[in-house]
Amino acid sequence: MSLDDIKRIAISTGGGDAPGLNAVIRGAVLSAINKGWEVYGIRDGYNGFLFPERYPDGGLERLTEKKVEGITHLGGTIIGTTNKGNPLRFPIQDKDGNWKEIDRTDEIVAAARRKEIDAVIAIGGDGSLEIAGVLADKGLRVVGVPKTIDNDLEKTVITFGFDTALSFATECIDRLHSTANAHQRVMVVEVMGRYAGWIALECGISSDSHVILIPEIEYDMEKVAEKILEREKDGHKHSIVVVAEGAKPKEGSVSIVSSELGRKEVLGGIGEKVAHEITKLTNKETRSIVLGHLLRGGSPSAFDRLLSLRFGAAAVRALCEGQQGIMVALDPPKVNYVPLKEATSRMKAVDLDCDIMRTARELGISFGD
């Protein structure tokens, strides 16, 4: 397909929301309109293609300059998103009442062709970009944009949304120092991070926290308690513990809230468990705080706004250059293109020998190991 073959493109935002989604949409829409293309937003991930009858506009909204005016600073996404009903493993109930999973990606490709969509810009994390890769293999022209506050996607230095989440988490922990010190308490702060501990690690260091528990290191509660008691012996009456939602103890498992067919397990509750164990082992008054979805909401930082706008414009540029089945990726000072399969082949976990980890250990931060 040449540039002249592109007349209409669609944008999809899938998975959990992240600050900067609307900025990506604006960057892509304005860039595409300036090339003479029509741009549409697919409602709620790919639900607009799979369930058009649910939407007054048939699941596809025309995105004009007016529609994207003044949205760069807004959180969320104007076209909606979903983390339920993965079309690769879509849950359905058979005639006997049993649940099973089916692949509905052929329906998405057929819907795109029926609606005369020439290409799709898929904005999402590992799950959404895995879907995008399958759609590309089936002949749909797709360019991916990396989105996750967890910063766990390979082949890009950073994903948009991470900087905003990190900054907000750091500010929250800064505030907790004063109240923890006033009451001589331990504060446990649970942050997002299912399988990668980048948020916990970087906000923990930036906020002068004393213990950081991440998914990459199984922790020993005895070691955590030892650090807190050591601080008290040295005259420090409060401690801050940051824990990623996917952290787990040695010979233990992650804390799961719920598990449903067709979606990822919902993690949570590890902060409360850690706080309970700290009280039991140290006899220190301990409180737990869950930042959770507060990290996803709100206005994106200036860094995330600029990165998102760059990614949106780069996605359109990639289509102009004949790219297909790729993800735009930040490789400072440039935005490059990498195959979707490479970007989703493995998760970018914290390298335990990276400079950030070495810095944390040299500062005396405990990882419970």
Residues belonging to the active site: 150
Say if residues 3 and 324 touch (Cβ distance below 8 Å). Answer: no
Residue 205's φ and ψ, nearest 5 degrees, are -65, -45
Q: Cα separation of 262 and 50, whole Å?
A: 15
Pairing of strands 211-213, 186-191: unpaired
194 is in an annotated binding site: yes
183 is in an annotated binding site: no
Q: Cα separation of 137 and 44, whole Å?
A: 22
296 is in an annotated binding site: yes
* DSSP run (H or E) holding 200: helix 198-206
294 is in an annotated binding site: yes
Residue type, 22: N
245 is in an annotated binding site: yes
Residue 343's φ and ψ, nearest 5 degrees, are -70, -25
Half-sphere exposure for 302 (CA within 13 Å, toward CB): 0
133 is in an annotated binding site: no
Say if residues 104 and 111 touch (Cβ distance below 8 Å). Answer: no
221 is in an annotated binding site: no
Length of the chain: 369
201 is in an annotated binding site: no
Between helices 355-362 and 198-206, what is the axis angle to 10°?
A: 40
Could you check whether the bond before residue 91 is cis, i.e. omega within 30 degrees of 0? Answer: no
193 is in an annotated binding site: yes
CA 209 to chain centre: 23
128 is in an annotated binding site: yes
Q: Cα separation of 147 and 161, whole Å?
A: 7
Residue 115's CB is within 10 A of a number of other CB atoms, namely 17
User: What residues does 81 pair with on adjacent strands?
Assistant: none
127 is in an annotated binding site: yes
Q: Cα separation of 176 and 192, whole Å?
A: 18
From the annotation, which residues make up the binding site? 16, 84-85, 125-128, 148-150, 185, 192-194, 245, 287, 293-296
Binding residues for ATP: 16, 84-85, 125-128
Give binding residues for substrate as ranges: 148-150, 185, 192-194, 245, 287, 293-296
Q: Which residues are annotated as a binding site for Mg(2+)?
A: 126
